[in-house]
Amino acid sequence: MPTSVTLFSTSDNMGGASMGALRLQQALSRYTPLFSQILVQQKQTSSEAVVAYDDSWWGKKKALTRFAGERLYLKAYEKSKEQHWAFDPALFGEDVTDHPFVQKAHILHLHWINHGFLSTKSFQKLADLKKPIVWTMHDMWPFTGGCHHSGDCDHYQVACGNCKFLRYPSEIDLSHEIWERKKKVMDPAALTMVACSDWLANRARQSSLLKDHTVVSIPNPIDTDVFKPIDKKEARWKLNVPQHKHLILFAAMRVDAPMKGFSYFKEALEKMAALYPETKDQVELLIFGQTQGLPALPYRSHHLGRLSDPERIARAYSAASVFVIPSLEENLPYTIMEAMSCGTPSVGFRIGGIPELIDDGINGALADYRSSDDLMRAMHQTLYAPNAKQLQQNARTKVLGNYAEPVIARRYEDLYKHLKM
């Protein structure tokens, strides 16, 4: 009987973390003898390997109530509305231990489980089953007192408290309370932590919550047969965008999310148009993602809307001359991986796991953090690089060797084999 692995994710198609879980399950089923499935709170794809814990009308109502309860609870503590999604208390969650996917699994594999799916009590119930637990970290939340990205705060290295996201920070504030709850359930658990980037792994190893647990670094996988180079002329023709322009692509699930850095992108474009006025006739923009409306930009822009079809997304990457990601907080962004897999060089700030993907001057360019001047320099340098074809080839080669499905599936297979059953 093959080893059975159950993956847990709040959703199967809402953001990079849920896509990471879905893509990993797909990779495991294709390239290993393991039997794998995913248990979610909210199912949005047609994958037969994904099952919602309770897909009934009442189950959906309970899930919505848990989600609303988390948000309402947090409102009494949060410092500002702008930080509303930066923190999760994990107070409300479902006990999923009675589900067949859980009962029959040899290994339990957590991914992003916030927004009312699994709480610290839910984790305790899973740990009580005495099965090995793997937890793939898509951000810092598993080892902090509630925040998803701590920025320059290092309180997670001790016991949290004095949290910058809370209205009344103190040594015994909500972040410390959550840290205490996590410590109580995580310390005795048979737990192995996986970070999607070396940057996140290094931070996790400094966390007081994980000092007695193994932390390894394994990237998310990508299907390089879906995200592959498409003839640029064909891609542009199908998207109805210009054939003979340099096209700069910006993409995010929510374009106007502050941490996606669109304001820096806008400033960099304005500076490039002023310093290199000839680019106004040579450069246009591609933008996809959800937005409430775009500000005035110095170059003509083509808004493709929110894209969900992987083939259409790959077409947009292939149509672009360069992909720009000015994010201010990132782990190992799928958008860069997807762009590079399509043979499109990328430009981003030196932050988080971005420098692990972009090799400066080899498959794209890196810019100094929060510097719109340097972002402009990196964009222009990549757009007009004399070795543009080589940058494109290097981008694709990097993904094939480090992030393709068979590479990552076998790394996880090796990890599972070494767990005590």
pLDDT tens-digit map of 151-180: 899 999 999 999 999 999 999 999 999 999
All structural domains of the chain with their residue ranges: 4-221+404-417, 232-402
Please report which confidence band the pLDDT of residue 420 belongs to, taking 50, 70 and 90 as the band edges. Answer: low
In terms of phi and psi (left: phi > 0; alpha: psi -120 to 50; beta: otherwise), the region of 95 is beta
For residues 25 and 183, give the distance between their C-alpha atoms in angstroms, rounded to a whole number.
29
Domain 4-221+404-417 coded CATH 3.40.50: yes
For residues 129 and 97, give the distance between their C-alpha atoms in angstroms, rounded to a whole number.
8
State the DSSP string of 46-74. --TTEEES--SHHHHHHHHHHHHHHHHHH
Residue 205 CB coordination number (10 Å): 16
Q: Give me the half-sphere count of Cα atoms (radius 13 Å) on the Cβ side of residue 342.
A: 28
Phi, psi of 284 (to 5 degrees): -135, 170
State the DSSP string of 191-257. EEEEESSHHHHHHHHT-GGGTTSEEEE-PPPB-TTTS----HHHHHHHHT--SSSEEEEEEEEETT-
Please report which confidence band the pLDDT of residue 256 belongs to, taking 50, 70 and 90 as the band edges. Answer: confident
**Mean pLDDT of the 404-411 span:** 97
Tokens 């980037």 locate to 197
**Prediction pTM value:** 0.91
For residues 110 and 29, give the distance between their C-alpha atoms in angstroms, rounded to a whole number.
17
Please report which confidence band the pLDDT of residue 340 belongs to, taking 50, 70 and 90 as the band edges. Answer: very high
The answer to whether 38 touches 25, Cβ cutoff 8 Å, is yes
For residues 262 and 341, give the distance between their C-alpha atoms in angstroms, rounded to a whole number.
23
Angle between the 16-31 and 405-417 helix axes, to the nearest 10 degrees?
Answer: 80
Beta-bridge mates of residue 11:
42
pLDDT at residue 306, as a whole number: 86
**Mean pLDDT of the 209-232 span:** 96
- Smallest CA-to-CA distance from 7 within 115, 136, 98, 129 is with 136
CA 358: distance to chain centroid? Answer: 16
Residue 328, classed as helix, strand or coil, is coil
pLDDT tens-digit map of 278-311: 999 999 999 998 887 788 999 999 999 888 889 9
Topology adopted by domain 232-402? Rossmann fold (3.40.50)
pLDDT tens-digit map of 93-137: 999 999 999 999 999 999 999 999 999 999 999 999 999 999 999
Helical H runs in 260-371? 262-275, 310-319, 334-341, 354-357
Structural tokens at position 418: 């070494």
The answer to whether 328 touches 261, Cβ cutoff 8 Å, is yes
